[in-house]
Amino acid sequence: MNKENNIMINLQNKLFLSINNLIKREKLLAEYFNIQGDYKMVENFYLDLIILADDLWQILERPYDYESLGKYKAQITQFYEENDIDLDIEKLNPAKRKSKLEIISDDISWANNGQWIDLTNDLYIIRENYEIQAALKIASKNLLEAKKIYQRIIGINEDLIKYIDDPDDKIEKSKNLRDLGQLNELLGNSLEAEGNFSQAIKILENTFDEDMEISINYNLAKAYYDQAEYFRDRKNLDKAIVSDKKRSGYLQSQQGKIL
């Protein structure tokens, strides 16, 4: 038992450190983009600071320096006031606000390539640590906590897509949405689950990359399979048949392309 506890503590500490490292990185980048006058990026990072600070308590279940969390909220409140943005931070959902900010990777002016590499590396590390944490929550049958973590994993992938627009991250986001759909189905959240499966399909149907075509279509086939299984479980056989046909179409399209 002591060995298992030590493994859990070690995993928790890795996640804690990865979140703290990302907080430090994003504080610096918020200051940089503020100087550059790129206010969408400033808001994006301030909102993420609030989300990450909150994660340290909600997911890690340990005390956090709420003075810092209050500071981030004060900073973004000041930012909204200075830019005549009529939003109340106390009533704001930072994750939803972040998802509405239209940030395109090609338009981002980075301080230097090193900052870009460091930030994306931090995001990949935290994503990996979150995935381990989610697996542990699922293994312990704590599905509600696993759901929270999957929502954050999806948020990390959304950031990566904004910053580097890599098809691999879109594929990962699609997988995460399918996993979240299965969790919601187990939790009895049918409408959320159906939405997750639909989103998992939509993101890949809007992803175009010749070099990744096989992987994209293979994952689309898997997404349609999961959707078909969901409809079968709900006794909606007509929709299940439609999803199965689309799955078969994507698999057939790849025949002869895989050596």
Q: Is the pLDDT of residue 183 over 90?
A: yes
Is the separation of the CB atoms in 226 and 217 below 8 Å? no
Every domain of the chain and the residues it spans: 1-150, 166-259
Q: Average pLDDT in the 170-187 region?
A: 95
* Least confident interval from 63-77, 79-93, 201-215: 63-77
Q: Average pLDDT in the 1-14 region?
A: 73
Banded model confidence at residue 258, pLDDT cuts 50, 70, 90: very low
Q: Average pLDDT in the 243-250 region?
A: 85
Average pLDDT, the chain: 85
Q: Is the pLDDT of residue 63 over 70?
A: no
State which fold the 166-259 domain adopts.
1.25.40
Q: Is the pLDDT of residue 37 over 90?
A: no
pLDDT score, position 2:
66
Residues 6 or more apart in contact with residue 27 via CB below 8 angstroms: 45, 49
Q: Each residue of 128-162: pLDDT tens digit?
A: 999 998 998 898 899 998 998 999 999 999 999 98
3-state helix/strand/coil string of the chain? CHHHHHHHHHHHHHHHHHHHHHHHHHHHHHHHHHHHCCHHHHHHHHHHHHHHHHHHHHCCCCCCCHHHHHHHHHHHHHHHHHCCCCCCHHHCCHHHHHHHCCCCHHHCCCCCHHHHHHHHHHHHHHHHHHHHHHHHHHHCCCHHHHHHHHHHHHHHHHHHHHHHCCHHHHHHHHHHHHHHHHHHHHCCCHHHHHHHHHHHHHHHHCCCCHHHHHHHHHHHHHHHHHHHHHHHHCCCHHHHHHHHHHHHHHHHHCCCCCC
pLDDT score, position 197:
96
In this prediction the pTM is: 0.84
Q: Average pLDDT in the 66-76 region?
A: 78
Q: Each residue of 195-241: pLDDT tens digit?
A: 999 999 999 999 988 888 889 988 999 999 999 999 999 899 999 99
pLDDT score, position 1:
53
Q: Average pLDDT in the 82-91 region?
A: 82
Cα distances (Å, whole numbers) of residue 58 to 21, 53, 155, 185, 210: 18, 9, 16, 23, 41
Banded model confidence at residue 75, pLDDT cuts 50, 70, 90: confident
